[in-house]
Amino acid sequence: MREIRFDRFGGSEVLTLHSDAPTPEPGPDEVLVRVSYVGLNPLDYKIRDGSSGRAEDLGLPAGTGREMAGTVLGAGSALDDAELGSRGLTAGTRVFGMRAPADSRGVAAEIIAIGADELAPIPDEIPEEDLPRWAGLALVGLTAIATIEDTARIAPGQTVLVHGGSGGVGQLLIPMALEAGAAQVWATGRAANADRIRDLGATPIAYDTEDWQAEILRETDDRGVDVVLDTHYHSTFLPSLDIVAENGLVVTLPTLADLTPAHERGVEARVPRIRPGRDRLDRLVQGIRAGRYPLEVSQVLPLAEIAQAHRLLEDGHTRGKLVLDAGA
């Protein structure tokens, strides 16, 4: 089968397509899945270049990618037909999901073995042409739930600023913040993406044409916002400390973010931790089916073009999700 691997940390050129990779054997509690599409995330290139904490104990050569959509082929010895049926994971079922945090194997391959608890079935009525969106749903969706519910704990009436509102996670943070009862959500993004941010329910602030700090202070009569949800960190974290309200909160998503500057200024800052699980994947299914989470896929590239996909990710201006077609 075909699989993407890298044998050293470095730039996108270290990613190699192997056409003779062995088909994996599922562990006792694992499901064998033929991958249709692979969702890509900034975490992928940070693991590849060694800058992520997840790269510290990674054995090389290694695979890449964390989330996918595909079709169940079989299962390990601990999962009989009755167990698979109760989970909705029988052979032939279309599924989506992501690797558990402790599972360092990649998903950018034609066939993978993955824990049964990390998968959920895709509803039968979903057309094949919509599968790329499901491939990009699990990681950003679980990140957004962890950010809104576990970390920010947004309360009704609060005001919220989302940095990166048109990105993959941002496109779910906005509707989830509104679901939690936020009275007002602003979101930064390029001017070209203002309409998309507005469609999601937030007030757009074009960082490439406006001073977003001045705009937030003007909109809030110099009070600032109750919660900042920062998907970028490097260019936005420190400036955000100046526009958060008294007793407010800054949540920054990169796991290696240095929160010291916030704490030194007496500003509460946190980093979310993803809690995977079937219950949360099922909640994402419900949200997608109800039209509450209109996650967008901006581009689908062939598996062989993963290096180009990583370069697009690193550019930092991707709208919605980038996805790989594992069959192309």
Q: What is the C-alpha to C-alpha distance for residues 107 and 69, in angstroms, rounded to an integer?
A: 10
In a domain, 285, yes or no: no
Is the separation of the CB atoms in 55 and 255 below 8 Å? Answer: no
| Inter-helix orientation angle 170-179/138-145, to 10° | 40
Decide if pLDDT at 14 tops 80: yes
The phi-psi region of residue 153 (left if phi > 0; otherwise alpha if psi is between -120 and 50; otherwise beta) is left
In a domain, 234, yes or no: yes
pLDDT in the model for residue 236: 95
Is the separation of the CB atoms in 236 and 61 below 8 Å? Answer: no
pLDDT in the model for residue 220: 97
Q: What is the mean pLDDT of residues 214-229?
A: 97
The one-letter code for the residue type at 230 is D
Say which residue the tokens 């941002």 belong to. Answer: 170
The sign one gets for the Cα dihedral 250, 251, 254, 256 is: positive
Could you give the percent of the chain with pLDDT greater than 90? 91
Which of 253, 270, 287 represents a domain boundary (last residue)? 270
Residues 123 and 233 placed together within one structural domain of the fold: no
Residues 148 and 221 placed together within one structural domain of the fold: yes
Angle at 11 between CA 134 and CA 109, to 5 degrees: 35
pLDDT in the model for residue 320: 87
Q: What is the C-alpha to C-alpha distance for residues 120 and 111, in angstroms, rounded to an integer?
A: 17
In a domain, 163, yes or no: yes
pLDDT in the model for residue 328: 83
pLDDT confidence bin for 319, thresholds 50/70/90: confident
In a domain, 279, yes or no: no
Which of 230, 254, 270 represents a domain boundary (last residue)? 270
pLDDT digit string, tens, across residues 208-219: 999 999 999 999
pLDDT confidence bin for 283, thresholds 50/70/90: very high
Q: What is the C-alpha to C-alpha distance for residues 165 and 320, in angstroms, rounded to an integer?
A: 9
Is the separation of the CB atoms in 255 and 262 below 8 Å? Answer: no
pLDDT digit string, tens, across residues 27-36: 999 999 999 9
pLDDT digit string, tens, across residues 79-128: 999 999 999 999 999 999 999 989 999 999 999 999 999 999 999 999 99
Please name every residue paired with 5 in a beta bridge, in sequence order, or none if there are none. 16, 63
Give the pairing type, strands 16-18 and 297-302: unpaired
Residues 112 and 151 placed together within one structural domain of the fold: no
In a domain, 164, yes or no: yes
pLDDT digit string, tens, across residues 138-179: 999 999 999 999 999 999 999 999 999 999 999 999 999 999
Decide if pLDDT at 185 tops 90: yes
Helix/strand/coil for 322 = strand
Q: What is the mean pLDDT of residues 319-327?
A: 93
Local structure of residue 230 (DSSP, 8 states): E
The one-letter code for the residue type at 95 is V
Decide if pLDDT at 254 tops 90: no
pLDDT in the model for residue 305: 96
Could you give the percent of the chain with pLDDT greater than 70? 100
Helices (H), the chain: 42-48, 81-87, 131-135, 138-145, 170-179, 194-199, 212-219, 237-240, 260-264, 278-289, 306-315
Residues 320 and 237 placed together within one structural domain of the fold: no
Residues 16 and 124 placed together within one structural domain of the fold: yes
pTM: 0.94
In a domain, 289, yes or no: no
Q: Considering its fold, how many domains does the chain have in total?
A: 2
Please name every residue paired with 312 in a beta bridge, in sequence order, or none if there are none. none
Phi, psi of 194 (to 5 degrees): -60, -40
Please name every residue paired with 302 in a beta bridge, in sequence order, or none if there are none. 325
Residues 182 and 98 placed together within one structural domain of the fold: no
Range of the domain at 318: 3-137+295-325
The sign one gets for the Cα dihedral 304, 306, 311, 315 is: positive
Q: What is the C-alpha to C-alpha distance for residues 51 and 9, in angstroms, rounded to an integer?
A: 9
pLDDT in the model for residue 54: 87
* Residue 300 structure tokens: 């689908």
Cα–Cα distances in angstroms (integers) from residue 173 to residues 105, 108, 187, 208, 286, in the given order:
27, 26, 10, 21, 16
In a domain, 216, yes or no: yes
Residue spans of beta strands (DSSP E) within 23-66: 30-39, 62-63
Q: What is the mean pLDDT of residues 179-207?
A: 96
* Residue 291 structure tokens: 């039209």
Cβ neighbours for 51, distance < 8 A, ≥ 6 positions apart: 256
Decide if pLDDT at 316 tops 80: no
The one-letter code for the residue type at 221 is D
